[in-house]
Amino acid sequence: MSKKTVSGIILTLLFIGMLTLASNTQQVEAPSDSSSTVGGYISQDTTWTLDGSPYIVVEDVVVESGVTLTIEAGVVVKFTSGTNLVIDGALVAKGNTTHPITFTSNSTDPAPGDWGSIRFRDSSNDALCKIAYGNIQYGTTGIIIGTASPYLSYLNISCNSGNGIYIDGGGGYGDPCITPTITRCNISHNGQNGIEVHGHHASPIITNNTIKHNIGNGIYCDVWAFSRPEILCNTISNNGQDAIFTFTDCHLIPVLISHNELFENEGCGIHSKYGSPQVIRNIIRKNKIGILVESLGPAEVPTVMYNHLYDNDNYDFYASHFDVDATYNLWGTTNETAIKKHIYDYYDDYNLGKVLYKPYLVPPIANFTFSPEMPYACGTVTFDASASFNPYGSIINYTWDFGDGNITTVTSPIITHTYTKSGNFNVTLTVTDDSD
């Protein structure tokens, strides 16, 4: 960081590598004092309306194959002890930002495990099944997905006694491949894992979620054969075990873990047990261990590139019995003594392999000038960041904080700004490179 003052403008240079995702937690109340009691099989297309809300589930509701249950925005569904919503046909439950749909306990004093789950089974209609903008709370497992591919978005899945979401990709080689999408959900405070994935054919797309404060792992994957989960752009923090745990024999189509921010988990940021996941462009910080690798052979080590590993409590990287290529990562420092201190490998225990960390990345360098040298209020000031550079790639954007409440992100290094009053202004430039 460098700072200087010229003609009343203070210039500050920073590199920042943080990613923040907002959660979508909603609090709702039933729209009226009326209620509807439901249970049993639904054998024709049915709509649960806002006027009929809340709906009290007194026995399992089963939507038969070929039948659609539609739930209107703002509806509240309350489950009595042990009851479930089972989807053999289609569920269309689309709330919105102001009127989410709520699935919760019917108890006056709700607690985790009060009811069962929302279950998508094998015959459910993948093209129609969708839950958007809703709350799923106080169940056993919030959502159970069999060999099905529903689309789940903008959900608050919390306070369930088991997993937030459980995905079963089947155990037989003839089972179909499933690709459920879980996006922009807040999955928190569940009694086991935030998301748990199993099976031969489980290839969920898990993207842009906030997964935090679960008792177990943020995401737990025990998959094999044709499974390829994609874990992208999530914020996973403060879980009781690992942020992401993978146990897999998927070599031809490995698990993809990319562009996530993993921090302050009680276990590892990423724990790779067997298999060879692709670990690319993640921020992994302040966990007990950044990356832990367990492998049975040299083909069962992850691809680890373009990640930012730093400030993990014990080690940033804990090696397996085989060498791991961990080149082209950021380690929070360019001091090789400090880097090696946070790597546990052959040089700490000769039974282990080596973590090959060189060449390593360095942060992009932010630098700028401004003109004119004597700017005046209400005059145009030109800022030029062309001198900024990235030793291993390209700078993709420039974020300017002009110190007067205006913050702008642009892709060009040159920008103009007008100050409407005189004074001292702290101008901050943040550059982002293509390895973030």
Query: DSSP for 220-262?
Result: EEEE-TT---EEES-EEES-SS-SEEEEE---SS--EEES-EE
pLDDT in tens, 369-426: 999 988 888 889 999 999 998 877 789 999 999 999 999 999 999 999 999 888 888 9
The verdict on 12 and 41 lying in the same domain is no
* CA triple 132-133-139, angle to 5 deg: 90
38 alpha-carbon distance from chain centroid: 35
Q: Do the domain assignments include residue 363?
A: no
For 105, the token pair is 């306990």
The verdict on 347 and 414 lying in the same domain is no
> Rounded CA gap, 415 and 429, in Å?
11
The verdict on 163 and 45 lying in the same domain is yes
> Rounded CA gap, 103 and 158, in Å?
11
Per-residue pLDDT at 5 exceeds 70:
no
For 235, the token pair is 């914020």
Q: Do the domain assignments include residue 262?
A: yes
Total number of domains constituting the chain: 2
Ranking 99-113, 144-158, 394-408 by mean pLDDT, the lowest is 394-408
Question: Which residues is 101 bridged to in the sheet?
Answer: 134
Query: Which residues make Cβ contacts (< 8 Å) with residue 255, sequence separation at least 6?
Result: 221, 223, 227, 228, 229, 230, 231, 246, 248, 275, 277, 278
For 78, the token pair is 């309350």
The verdict on 306 and 382 lying in the same domain is no
Task: Work out the percent of the chain whose per-residue pLDDT is above 70.
Answer: 90
The verdict on 380 and 274 lying in the same domain is no
The verdict on 14 and 154 lying in the same domain is no
Check if the beta carbon of residue 49 is closer than 8 Å to that of residue 25. Answer: no
Model confidence, pTM: 0.84
pLDDT in tens, 88-97: 999 999 999 9
The verdict on 395 and 329 lying in the same domain is no
Q: Do the domain assignments include residue 370?
A: no
- Domain that residue 407 falls in: 3-18+375-433
Q: How confident is the model at residue 308 (pLDDT cuts 50, 70, 90)?
A: very high
Predicted confidence at residue 265, as pLDDT, reads 98
CATH number assigned to the domain comprising residue 10: 2.60.40.10
Peptide bond into 180 cis (omega under 30): no
Per-residue pLDDT at 154 exceeds 70:
yes
Q: Do the domain assignments include residue 261?
A: yes
